[in-house]
Amino acid sequence: MIQHVIENYFQLREKIKSDRSLLEQTAKCVLENISNYNNDINAYLRVYDDEVLDYAKNCEIDKNLSGMMVGLKDLLCYKDHIVEASSKILKNFTSQINATVVQRIIDNGGVIVGHQNCDQFGMGSSNENSCYGPSYNGLDLRKSAGGSSGGSATAVQNNMCHVAIGTDTGGSVRQPAAFCGIIGFKPTYGRISRYGVIPYSSSFDTVSILGKCVEDIALVLENVAGKDEYDCTSSDRPVEKYFDNLDSVNFNDVKISYIKETLNVDGLQKEIHDSVVSLLNKLQGQGLTVKEKNFKHVDSLAPTYYIITAAEAATNFARLDGIRYGYCTNEKVNNIEEFVKKNRSEGFGLEVKKRILFGNYVLTSEGILEQAQKVRRVILNEINNIFADSDFIILPTTPTTAFDLNRKNVCPQESYLTDLFTYIASICGLPAISIPYGKDDNGLPIGIQIIGHKFDEQKLLSFSKKILSEVNF
């Protein structure tokens, strides 16, 4: 597809201070790309054209994010705009609030372009669980853009916004970023407020950022992170100047670990294995310390993740009954119980139903959730041991590059293992980033993941920029 290519925001923002017309040009390019190509890739569900054009003409140009075009995953509340979690159960629900992350973007001069397609409530790895159908990978329309933030990833990929704000519960920003050849960044749990984000799993959900360059992601992070009185899980740690200090890492002093077991997993695509090994060899060749580590609990990652997240989802979704808001059946019913059953059976998608049912089973079965929480602590302790003498852990983002849509005979277990490598950072609440690093034999991008220390986003972003600028050749 041929589109208008939009300039990285951190470069554009300096230029618009002396030439405001560039802001209007960028806004028009973004909207033209959406108009011309959204039908092909199904990235946006709702586009706020008039608001974007009005903003381009009248906005102040001296704020931190002035001129930034931002897309929102359809899980983030934007006041007086519809938000549906890409699910029929929330059909035409209009938000009465701004999510904190949305409010901070607006306060700092950014503009919301529209809401982007996703798997219902963030449940999925292919965007095929959306009630609006899948999003498509702009590099090959037969391929998945990933999930659950697939619409956000393909929108960034295809110049339909500078950055997109998604959510990453088990890999939902990092995996689609890898499939689309862009950058997906998940900060430490609690670094960005979750207020105003439609919840899936409250102890995992992390507001995250997709973009084409580390600089843009760093700018967004320093303007949206920080304590929020509306979210008791948000951290009160000071927010660093991530953008200004992107060159702060002392490259030669960095110590890297890689997990042996992640490079020996059945089903790991050879080109991805070779790309990770190639990067590790290059880093070692440039004088960095690179150590092999063992991780005994690879087989426990997916069960731990799905037990806890399903239990939390079942609790969170109890409020969705069609009585006060959202979808309600047109069929005649005899009582309130039947009415709620109809609303939920017609409103929720199949994958959401599966996870709610499983979550309720977990909640009503003695000891399952408690055991999973214990294993979560064991996993965290083992990762902390690896970090005792390491700055970063490097591993694949995904087992394969972008897979075909409409795959047949894919068992649920195989589908759930799509996020195997991203579960570690999610279970442990650690910051992680997926950066593009090479391509497979079919020209599809490969993502490599870097996990950092808790709340050390500065070093993680700095190191990632260094790799992209000096090692990724």
Under a CB-based contact definition with an 8 Å cutoff, are residues 121 and 198 in contact? yes
CA distance 473 to 471: 6
Under a CB-based contact definition with an 8 Å cutoff, are residues 134 and 150 in contact? yes
Enclosing H/E stretch for 311: helix 298-316
Residue among 86, 130, 144, 172 flagged as catalytic: 172
Q: 91 catalytic, yes or no?
A: no
Q: 73 catalytic, yes or no?
A: yes
CA distance 59 to 99: 21
Under a CB-based contact definition with an 8 Å cutoff, are residues 422 and 166 in contact? no
Residue among 73, 186, 293, 459 flagged as catalytic: 73
CA distance 418 to 174: 11
Q: 95 catalytic, yes or no?
A: no
Q: DSSP character for 355? A: H
Straight-line distance from the first to the last Cα atom of the chain, in angstroms, rounded to the nearest whole number: 25
Residue among 66, 87, 148, 462 flagged as catalytic: 148
CA distance 255 to 393: 9
Q: 3-state class of 199 per DSSP?
A: coil
Handedness of CA 256, 184, 225, 206 (dihedral sign): negative
Name the residue type at position 451. I
The DSSP result for 117-136, as a single string, is: --SGGG--SSSTTSTT---E
Output Rg (C-alpha) for the chain, integer angstroms: 21
CA distance 34 to 69: 12
CA distance 6 to 22: 10
Cross-strand bridge partners of residue 144: 136
Enclosing H/E stretch for 277: helix 270-285
Enzyme catalytic residues: 73, 148, 172
